């Protein structure tokens, strides 16, 4: 069963590499698709292969990618939840708390933006 996940991780790594190579050639890519590949790869490393350091690296890469997309940056960095969990497993509680707080700040910011949008719409009516 583990070999299936090892194969899955290798295939995802290859797909990520191919997409990254296309960006170097100046081709347009589907950023949300690449983000999801990083995210899924991190999940495989964390949950199925018990490789938290690899998972951490992929979550952080996914986050960097998410920040480059206006579309994706509208959503919270859910990868912070998993990054915090990895640090918690490593008994690095201060780092875990840092990531959990960052996620909560993003939720609060999004909530404020949503409230402002609703207020504007209500005021226009």
pLDDT at 91: 98
Query: How many Cα atoms sit within 13 Å of 19 on the Cβ side?
Result: 17
- Can you give the residue range of the structural domain that contains 27? 2-124
83-114 pLDDT, tens per residue? 999 999 999 999 999 999 999 999 888 887 77
Residue position matching structure tokens 């790594």: 13
d(CA 12, CA 41) in angstroms, rounded, equals 6
pLDDT at residue 123 is higher than 70: no
d(CA 28, CA 20) in angstroms, rounded, equals 10
For residue 24, give the CATH number of its domain: 1.25.40.10
How many separate domains does the chain show? 1
3-37 pLDDT, tens per residue? 899 999 999 999 999 999 998 899 999 999 999 99
Residue position matching structure tokens 């964390």: 46
């Amino acid at each position: 069963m583990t070999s299936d996940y090892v194969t899955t991780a290798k295939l995802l790594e290859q797909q990520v590499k191919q997409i990254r190579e296309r960006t170097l050639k100046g081709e347009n890519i589907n950023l949300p698709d690449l983000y999801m590949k990083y995210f899924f790869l991190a999940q495989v490393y964390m949950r199925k292969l018990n490789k938290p350091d690899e998972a951490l690296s992929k979550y952080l890469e996914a986050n960097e990618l998410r920040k480059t997309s206006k579309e994706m940056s509208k959503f919270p960095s859910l990868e912070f939840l998993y990054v915090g969990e990895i640090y918690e497993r490593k008994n690095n509680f201060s780092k875990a708390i840092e990531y959990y707080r960052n996620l909560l700040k993003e939720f609060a910011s999004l909530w404020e933006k949503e409230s402002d949008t609703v207020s504007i719409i209500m005021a226009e009516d």
